[in-house]
Structures are given as C-alpha cells and as structure tokens.
A and B are shown apart, each in its own frame.
Chain A
Amino acid sequence: MNGEDFDDLALDRLSLPASLPGGVSRRRFLQLAGAGAATLTPYLSSLSAFAAPPVGANDGILVLIMMEGGNDGLNTVVPTSESRYYSLRPGLGIAPGAALSLGPGVGLHPALPKLKARFDQGDVAVVQGVGYANPDLNHFSSMGIWMNGWGGARQTGPATGWVGRYMDGLPNAADESLYGVVVGTSVPLHMVGNIARASGLPTNLRGAFGIDLRDASDARMFDALSSFAGGATGLGQWGDLTAKVEHDTLDLAQKIPPAYQGTFPNTNLGRELTLVAKLINTNLGIRVFNTNIGGFDTHSGQAGGHATQLGEIDDAIDALFTTLSPAWRSRVTVMTFSEFGRRPEQNSDAGTDHGTAAPLFVVGPRVKGGLYGAPSRTNDLDANGNLKYHVDFRQVYSTILDTWLKADSRQVLGYNFGSLGFFDGGPGGGTVVTTRRPRRRRKRLTV
C-alpha cells in the first residue's frame, strides 16, 4: 500500500459512506416514483424507509460506548500488586487501597463504583490485555483498525465496519436505516456496511423539523421535501444521497419523539445512554447503538480528567439499565472500546502518551461476569516499551456476534476468532449459542 492510499484510508476511516452509489439502494424509490412529478402523490404513504422489523423476545441488542482518545487501561483496571506499575507512575498510579478490588492484584478505578457493584452481581466481563498485532499508535489509524475489524487474509478495503457488515446480513438491509443508530452528529466507520448504513439521532430533539404535522401547510412541505428522494435528482451521487437521507430523517421524525420525553441525566453520555434505553423501550427495531465519550487522550494532567470521564461512564451505564423496562434488560449488552491504551510510564506533564493494549468491559444481565483474557504486565513490555496484548479485539467481536447477535462472525470478520465465552445466557430467555474454537492458531493476523 503506498502512502497515498494509506492516507485515504486513515482520513476516510472514521466516518464515511458505504460504497456509493450502490451503497444506498434506490430501487424502492424508483419502483414507486415513476417518471415525473405527476406520479408523486401516492409515493409517501407507500414508502416506509424505517420499517426495521421489531426486536424479538430472544434477539440481542448491542450498545457500544466509544471512548475516544485512547483510554488508559492501567488506571482503569489497576494491577495493584505490580511494583513496576507504581514505580513507572509515581504520581499517577492508583494506590491498592483506593482501587475497587476485583480479586487478587486487580482493582477498578475508584470512579467506577457502580460498575464494581455490577461486577459483584456477575454482570460484568472484564476482558484484559485487548489489542492487536503490530499496533498503530495514531488515533485515527488505530481507531480505523478497531472499527474495520476485518481479520481475513485479504482486506475488504477500508470502506466498511464490523457492525455495518453484521447489519448487511439482516433482512432488507439496504433500506432499513434503523438497524443501527448513532447518537450524535456523524456516522462512524464501524456502523457502515457494504449496503447498510446507520442513522444519526440528536441528543436533544428541540422542535425538530418534520415532527408536528398539525399544520397542513407544514405537512405538505415535509411531504414535498421527502419527495426529492422519489427519483434521480440528476445531481450525482451526493445529490441523490442528500435527498434519500432527508427523506429518511423526516420519516424518522414521526417515530422517535416519545423517546425524548421525560427526564435525563446532566452528562452527555448519561443523556445518550438514557435516550438509548428509551429508544429500546419504544422498540423501533434498532439492533446496535453507538454512543461516544471523548477526553481520553490524557497527555497532561491525567488524574482528574480521567476520573471524571470514567465516572461519567459509570453513571451512564447505570442510567441505561435503570431506564430500560424490565422486559428489555435481558436483551441488552454494553461493550466499551477505545483505539488503544497508553504508555506504561507517565510523562513529564503527569499524563501518559499513546500506547497499545488495554482492557475493555462487556456489561449486561446475560454476561457471565469475571476476568477474561490475561493482563498486560508492566514487567513484560514489547521492544518499544509498550504493553503486550493477549486477546485480539476481534475475539471480543466474534463472541458478541455469534452468541449475542446470532450472526456468523466468520462472515463478518473474515476469520473464525472463536469465543471468549463471556455470556451465560442468550438474549431474553434464549440459550447460549456456542461456536467451535479455531483448531489451529494462526501465526499472525493480517491487519
């Protein structure tokens, strides 16, 4: 791969459309719309872009929390018995007595008491030492690798993400824009498939355009704006896609207002995860949610900011599960991820620079709580002085895909990564679906 292609890849990775224009199916519009404006009238009533089938009693929902900036794994799941950890981090290390014990030599950051309580209930899998071979220390390249998630021998190219490829396999994926939802203002790569594309929802609805149909003139205007999608605009792929997304957005405006009612926490992530819970309770057919929280690029003055961000996550996960109606709780699993961990040693600014492997959390009533993987040790570093990984991040994905989302992880990831076995039940009342572990261990995974 030459520098230019790589540059495209890195810049495109974090947010981009599926392979356009094929990525957005226009066939339904074209079938319905006919050739000219005169045939438009019946179009809107027969068009239902957001008709994702409801989530069934034994279907799983995945909620992702993207921790942007590179979360410091060592201060999230603290190796309380490693003297080298404390000598590398004279001001920044978390004292054994302050950490919330998960077992001998392992403790959670003190800002995570609610997660600790869920761990004690057996609802939290702490997957340690997660990373990948030949780590990339750039935010965008590394996040792109996590989002892309392809482990096959040949790259599919940078244009799709692992959740997107999962959604590709759902019925009528090209037209159902509600299989995946991003709370926020852009759709990240992992939510983009070859034909499937997630929808973005705002954290606040205000008086969003297209909601109130009581005024007949307004309703006619919304209808007409939706109708731009009824035929080829003649303005090229971006003109057509604009029309299509406008249509879908106006359609969505009729479906989501109830989820925005009631009270919300004050933090961004708390608000996002509460909204996720309310959208799940509404059952619009959404299978995967993406939420995000920034502030983990802690190059300087890490201690206070990191505690604040972790505390926000702790409260937000709690808000999610307490807002979910009981009927839905056992169908929801949360997974956290970040592009990389940080250097084992602190820098001159009481912060930490970009590093490699880190732990992540999988949380939910059907999760089999405990410690998984193996911790990255501060006394066993790689040639660059970084933490070694012990679990490929795609093993986490494959466990979720096969067991929780009932997909074929080999298709989505291009390789059978096997299962880490961190579920003790399927979604709802369903039983665990097990997959065979790979027979032979591959020497190296192509990234």
Chain B
Amino acid sequence: MTTPAVDVAHLRRRTGFEATPAEIANFTPIDLPAIVDALLDFSLNPTDAPPPSFGDPAKANWGRMQDLIKWWLDRMCTVPRPLQEKLSFFWLGHFATQVSKVDHAVDMYDQNHLFRTEGAGSLETLVQNVSLQVAMLIYLDNDPNEKGTPNENFARELMELLTLGVNQYTQDDVVASARAWTGHNVDYNVEPRVYRFYPERHDTDPKTFMGVTRNWDGPEIITHILTVEPHRSTAARYIAKKMWTFFAYPKPSATVLDALTTAFLDSNLNITALLRAIFLRPEFYSATARQGLLRGPVEWIVTCLRMTGLTAEEMNPQWWMEEMGQELFEPPNVAGWMDNAYWLNGTALWARADFARNVTWKVHNNHWTPTAGFLRTVIERNAQNQYVMSAPAAIDLAFQSFGRVPAIAPVSTWDRGVLENWLVTQRASEAAPVYTWRDWAAINLTTMTMLSPDVLLA
C-alpha cells in the first residue's frame, strides 16, 4: 500500500527538519506503519561522541558550549533519522536544564547523550537516569540536599513539571519527597564531578508520600509515581499530551488523548510506543495539525541550513538564538519553551530576518562549496545565460528548495500573489540584462521565502 506524498511530507517535516522531494518520494511506496517504523529506526544514525574540543584542555567552557551547540545543530541537519535528534530536543525542553546554572559543558553533553540513547525507551528509566545526572542534580538543587534542611526544588518539579502536572500532589508530598532525596548529591572532589549517594546525609526517618508511610528513598519516589495508580495514568496522560502538543498541535481532544494514554500505558510507558501512536492517529494528518504549529527557532534554523546545504559550523546560528528566544541548553526556565505565539514578536522576528539574510549571503558567496537550493540554481543558470525564468516558475523553485513542493504542499495563493507582484516590480526596476551572478531578485526571493508564513509554519 502506498502513502500519499502530502502525508509523507507532513510526517517527515514534523519528525525531522524538512525533507527534500527525494526523501519524500523514497517513502511514498510503503504504508504508513512501515514509514513510522523506518523513521523510528535510530540504528541508522551514527553514534555520538562529544565534540573534539571537549578533549582540549586549552578550550574554556564557553568555547566548548559554542561547539556543543553547533555540533548538535549539524547532527540535526545531517543524520538520516532526525527524529532521534528532535526527540532529544523535546526532552531538553521537558527536563529543562540551563547551562548557565550547571556551568560545565560536559554535564550538558552527558544529559544530551542520555536523551539520545534513552529518549525513546522506558519513561521510568529516562526519568531515573536524568534525575541522578550532575546536570539535573545541580540545576534543581538536589545538590547538596541534606538531612535536616531538605531542599524542595527538585522534589516539587519532579511531580509538577517532569511527571504529573499541576495540582496532582500536596505540599506534604513535596516535603516528603525532598527528604527522600536527601543525600543524593554531587561529589566535587573528583574530576569530572559525579553523582554520589552519601548515606550520612540521607534522612532515614519514616516519611509519608502520596499516603504511604515508610523510609522512602529518592528513586523509589519516581518508581511509585510511574508504576502505582492513579499516578501512573496521570503521568502517562501528562506526557502524552505534552508530546502530542510538540509534534502535532496544542490542546488535543479527549478522544486523541484517551487513545494515546491507553497506548502508552499498554506499553508500560514505552516512549517509542507513544510516538508510534501519535504518528498513526488520523488527527496527526488533519488540517488542524498541518496548520497547528509554528516552527520554533531551532527547528527553523535547522531547516534553513539543511535546505541550503550550509552547516552550523560555518553559519554560527547561536549568535542569533538568544534574540530568537531559543538557545540550546538554555531553556528560559524550568518549564522549558512554550510554542506558537511565543515566537511572534518584533525581537524574535528581527533576529530571524537577520539570520535569513546571512544565510542568503553565505549561499550566494559560497562559490566553491556545494550549497544547494534555489539561489545556487539561479546563479548557475545565470552563468550559462539561461536566466529566463517566469515569475511563477522562480517562486515555485524558491519554495521547493525550502521543502514546499508545489505538487505536494502548495504555497498559499495569497503569499504567491504578493511575491509575484513584488518580483515583477523588482525585475522591472533592474536594467536589462540584469541576471548576473548578483541577481537581486533571486537573492531577495531566497530571504523572503525563509521569512514567508509558509516556511515559518511547521
């Protein structure tokens, strides 16, 4: 059975960072479940190792973070199964941890590596492992959380943000959990610093958590939340909703949410099972889904790089990311990033426009490197004096090079009209013959395509 190209394009866009016509065509001959399985086959991706500068003692922490950001963006651009990276990015927003507090690049890499290796497996394994990594221990102040004066920060967010959601626990549960996590600290006397359990700092007195009184230990709190009803179902629903919102659209119906929750519970909270359920729901392919999300900065940056053949290493997108509102390894707060309207304001759009212009110039000036897309095509055609392209054909080609293939995902009729009107005027303003290597119409059309509502939508 075949799958409509329009659905393949949508699925690949949401599970990755835009797809080329060839990448879409590869999948149309097979049925949807087989496509989903293929996209979830992360064994095709190369294993990861830290960026080379991590081994260079002369490279300071700041420089390592710059390298780590570029390294991750380039991985997003290039791996054959980008869902692994997109999922890791989802988990960074979920287990939000800021490098500005954690301070060491290597701890951020370790967490990132965990998301990549455990991010599609058991939810409980993932939560347990994240909680005992140095990054999380430091970020939510389990370090040092000691008997007698427990620190409530991690205990509260573990329930509120990481597993159950608001209003699913009491302040007494927070206090009991905080006591259960005492002694789960960081050992600073070794290099690199590591998680260590200090029995003498641990509160061994009975504590009442979720109505059960005993000598709770931190990891048992996670096991209880994720294996004992009704908490287990609450957590399944909370995570299912958040993941659907990330991949499909906000505020799913109860029908969708019930089905996802059931699939997740039936799999014993296996994340791959939840993802498969999401991508196989008919609602995932609805108009609501197609128009339901805007690309956040990371997703848009990677799309721009991937579709032009540029690398983060040469573009340094991190210089624009703070103003766009999304810095990798630096979520705005413990709740991670919001969506949609969050990206629409002057500051963020200026930063995107500035980046789009820089991408355009990099493509334009890269005479000797194999960048791709519309602008390169035009430049090459101009060089051969084959520059006569009608305005509609030029616009089609420009959008196609950013993934909006006319036959599969047509561009807004209104937006096309605006661009055609502009292109005719622009060409008329240039003295003929104008289509040299510095073709202003083609240059600006490239920038405008990246900034069109069509390409800004996910």
Q: Which residues 321-360 of A have a CB within 8 angstroms of B?
A: 346-349, 351, 353-354
Contacts of A12 in B (CB 8 A): 338
At the interface, yes or no: B251 with Cβ under 8 Å from chain A?
yes
Contacts of A236 in B (CB 8 A): 287, 290-292
Contact between B324 and A185, CB atoms less than 8 A apart: yes
Contact with A along B205-245 (1 / 0, CB 8 A): 00000000000000000000000000000100110010000
Contact between A138 and B166, CB atoms less than 8 A apart: yes
Stretch of B31-39, B49-57, B138-146, B277-285 contacting A (4+ beta carbons < 8 Å)? B138-146
At the interface, yes or no: B413 with Cβ under 8 Å from chain A?
yes
Contact between A299 and B153, CB atoms less than 8 A apart: yes
Tell whether A200 pairs with B345 under 8 Å between CB atoms, given A14-B338, A140-B335, A185-B325. Answer: yes
At the interface, yes or no: B48 with Cβ under 8 Å from chain A?
no
Q: Which residue of A6, A7, A20, A220 is within 8 Å of B422 (Cβ)?
A: A220
Contact between A200 and B168, CB atoms less than 8 A apart: no
Q: Which residues 433-458 of B have a CB within 8 angstroms of A?
A: 440, 444, 447-448, 451-454, 456-457
At the interface, yes or no: A51 with Cβ under 8 Å from chain B?
no
Q: Which residues 146-197 of B have a CB within 8 angstroms of A?
A: 146, 148-153, 156, 160, 165-168, 171
Contact between A137 and B171, CB atoms less than 8 A apart: yes
Contact between B346 and A202, CB atoms less than 8 A apart: yes
At the interface, yes or no: B73 with Cβ under 8 Å from chain A?
no
At the interface, yes or no: A74 with Cβ under 8 Å from chain B?
no
Contact between A220 and B429, CB atoms less than 8 A apart: yes
Contact between B166 and A7, CB atoms less than 8 A apart: yes
At the interface, yes or no: B267 with Cβ under 8 Å from chain A?
no
The residue in B153, B156, B290, B349 that gathers the most chain A C-beta atoms within 10 A of its C-beta is B349
B161 shortest CB reach to chain A, Å? 8
Contacts of A374 in B (CB 8 A): none
Stretch of B102-110, B111-119, B350-358 contacting A (4+ beta carbons < 8 Å)? B350-358
At the interface, yes or no: B407 with Cβ under 8 Å from chain A?
no
Contact between A217 and B354, CB atoms less than 8 A apart: no
Contacts of B350 in A (CB 8 A): 202, 205-206, 208-210, 249, 253
Contacts of A15 in B (CB 8 A): 338, 341-342
How far does the alpha carbon of A238 sit from the alpha carbon of B458 in the complex, in Å? Answer: 10
At the interface, yes or no: A141 with Cβ under 8 Å from chain B?
yes
How far does the alpha carbon of A225 sit from the alpha carbon of B456 in the complex, in Å? Answer: 13
At the interface, yes or no: A182 with Cβ under 8 Å from chain B?
yes
Contact between A248 and B346, CB atoms less than 8 A apart: yes
- Chain B interface size band reads 35 or more
Contacts of A140 in B (CB 8 A): 333, 335
How far does the alpha carbon of A68 sit from the alpha carbon of B334 in the complex, in Å? Answer: 12
Contact between B166 and A141, CB atoms less than 8 A apart: yes
Contact between A3 and B338, CB atoms less than 8 A apart: no
Contact between B149 and A233, CB atoms less than 8 A apart: no
Contacts of A231 in B (CB 8 A): 414
Tell whether A16 pairs with B341 under 8 Å between CB atoms, given A37-B417, A201-B347. Answer: yes
How far does the alpha carbon of A242 sit from the alpha carbon of B324 in the complex, in Å? Answer: 14
How far does the alpha carbon of A38 sit from the alpha carbon of B251 in the complex, in Å? Answer: 38
Contacts of A400 in B (CB 8 A): none
Contact between B347 and A185, CB atoms less than 8 A apart: yes
The residue in A224, A234, A241 that gathers the most chain B C-beta atoms within 10 A of its C-beta is A224
Contact between B338 and A200, CB atoms less than 8 A apart: no
At the interface, yes or no: B323 with Cβ under 8 Å from chain A?
yes
Contacts of B294 in A (CB 8 A): 238, 242
Contact between B151 and A353, CB atoms less than 8 A apart: yes
How far does the alpha carbon of A220 sit from the alpha carbon of B445 in the complex, in Å? Answer: 11
Contact between A210 and B415, CB atoms less than 8 A apart: no
Least CB separation from A1: chain B residue? B167
The residue in B238, B414, B456 that gathers the most chain A C-beta atoms within 10 A of its C-beta is B414
Interface of B is mostly: helix
The residue in A9, A186, A232, A351 that gathers the most chain B C-beta atoms within 10 A of its C-beta is A186
Q: Which residue of A38, A185, A230 is within 8 Å of B323 (Cβ)?
A: A185
Least CB separation from B416: chain A residue? A37
Q: Which residue of A11, A20, A209, A239 is within 8 Å of B457 (Cβ)?
A: A239
How far does the alpha carbon of A322 sit from the alpha carbon of B322 in the complex, in Å? Answer: 29
At the interface, yes or no: B340 with Cβ under 8 Å from chain A?
yes
Tell whether A17 pairs with B417 under 8 Å between CB atoms, given A216-B429, A217-B426, A349-B151. Answer: no
Tell whether A217 pairs with B429 under 8 Å between CB atoms, given A184-B347, A225-B448. Answer: yes
Q: Which residue of A11, A36, A138, A353 is within 8 Å of B417 (Cβ)?
A: A36
Contact between B452 and A210, CB atoms less than 8 A apart: no
Contact with B along A1-36 (1 / 0, CB 8 A): 101101111111011110010000000000000001
At the interface, yes or no: B366 with Cβ under 8 Å from chain A?
no
The residue in A297, A353, A354 that gathers the most chain B C-beta atoms within 10 A of its C-beta is A353
How far does the alpha carbon of A16 sit from the alpha carbon of B339 in the complex, in Å? Answer: 8
Contact between A11 and B338, CB atoms less than 8 A apart: yes
Contact between B412 and A239, CB atoms less than 8 A apart: yes
How far does the alpha carbon of A249 sit from the alpha carbon of B346 in the complex, in Å? Answer: 5
Contact between A234 and B451, CB atoms less than 8 A apart: no
At the interface, yes or no: B419 with Cβ under 8 Å from chain A?
yes
At the interface, yes or no: A187 with Cβ under 8 Å from chain B?
yes
Contact between B342 and A186, CB atoms less than 8 A apart: yes
At the interface, yes or no: B348 with Cβ under 8 Å from chain A?
yes
At the interface, yes or no: B421 with Cβ under 8 Å from chain A?
yes
B172 shortest CB reach to chain A, Å? 9
Contact between A209 and B354, CB atoms less than 8 A apart: yes
At the interface, yes or no: B293 with Cβ under 8 Å from chain A?
yes
Tell whether A228 pairs with B150 under 8 Å between CB atoms, given A7-B165, A202-B323, A238-B294. Answer: no
Least CB separation from A40: chain B residue? B421
Least CB separation from B422: chain A residue? A224
How far does the alpha carbon of A210 sit from the alpha carbon of B324 in the complex, in Å? Answer: 16
At the interface, yes or no: A377 with Cβ under 8 Å from chain B?
no
The residue in A8, A218, A232, A249 that gathers the most chain B C-beta atoms within 10 A of its C-beta is A249
Q: Which residue of B152, B333, B440, B454 is within 8 Å of A239 (Cβ)?
A: B454
At the interface, yes or no: A261 with Cβ under 8 Å from chain B?
no
Contact between A207 and B412, CB atoms less than 8 A apart: no
How far does the alpha carbon of A354 sit from the alpha carbon of B167 in the complex, in Å? Answer: 16
Tell whether A3 pairs with B349 under 8 Å between CB atoms, given A220-B422, A228-B418. Answer: no
How far does the alpha carbon of A239 sit from the alpha carbon of B448 in the complex, in Å? Answer: 15
Contacts of A228 in B (CB 8 A): 414-415, 418, 452-453
Q: Which residue of A220, A232, A353 is within 8 Å of B425 (Cβ)?
A: A220
Contact between B153 and A14, CB atoms less than 8 A apart: no
Least CB separation from B290: chain A residue? A236
Contacts of B451 in A (CB 8 A): 225, 246
How far does the alpha carbon of A12 sit from the alpha carbon of B251 in the complex, in Å? Answer: 11
Tell whether A237 pairs with B291 under 8 Å between CB atoms, given A186-B338, A224-B422, A348-B148. Answer: yes
At the interface, yes or no: B380 with Cβ under 8 Å from chain A?
no
Least CB separation from A37: chain B residue? B417
Tell whether A11 pairs with B422 under 8 Å between CB atoms, given A202-B346, A221-B447, A221-B448. Answer: no
At the interface, yes or no: B74 with Cβ under 8 Å from chain A?
no
How far does the alpha carbon of A233 sit from the alpha carbon of B234 in the complex, in Å? Answer: 39
Measured CB to CB, the residues of B under 8 A from A are 141, 144-146, 148-153, 156, 160, 165-168, 171, 234, 237-238, 241, 251, 257, 287, 290-294, 322-325, 332-335, 338, 340-342, 344-351, 353-354, 357, 412-415, 417-422, 425-426, 429, 440, 444, 447-448, 451-454, 456-457
Which 9 pairs of residues, A with B, have the shortest CB-CB distance? Answer: A200-B345, A236-B291, A37-B417, A348-B149, A209-B353, A17-B341, A224-B422, A185-B325, A202-B347
Q: List 10 A-B contacts (CB under 8 A).
A: A185-B345, A186-B345, A202-B351, A220-B444, A233-B412, A233-B454, A238-B453, A242-B294, A242-B453, A245-B344
Measured CB to CB, the residues of A under 8 A from B are 1, 3-4, 6-12, 14-17, 20, 36-38, 40-41, 68, 137-141, 182, 184-187, 199-202, 204-210, 216-218, 220-221, 223-225, 227-228, 230-243, 245-246, 248-249, 252-253, 294, 297, 299-300, 346-349, 351, 353-354, 384
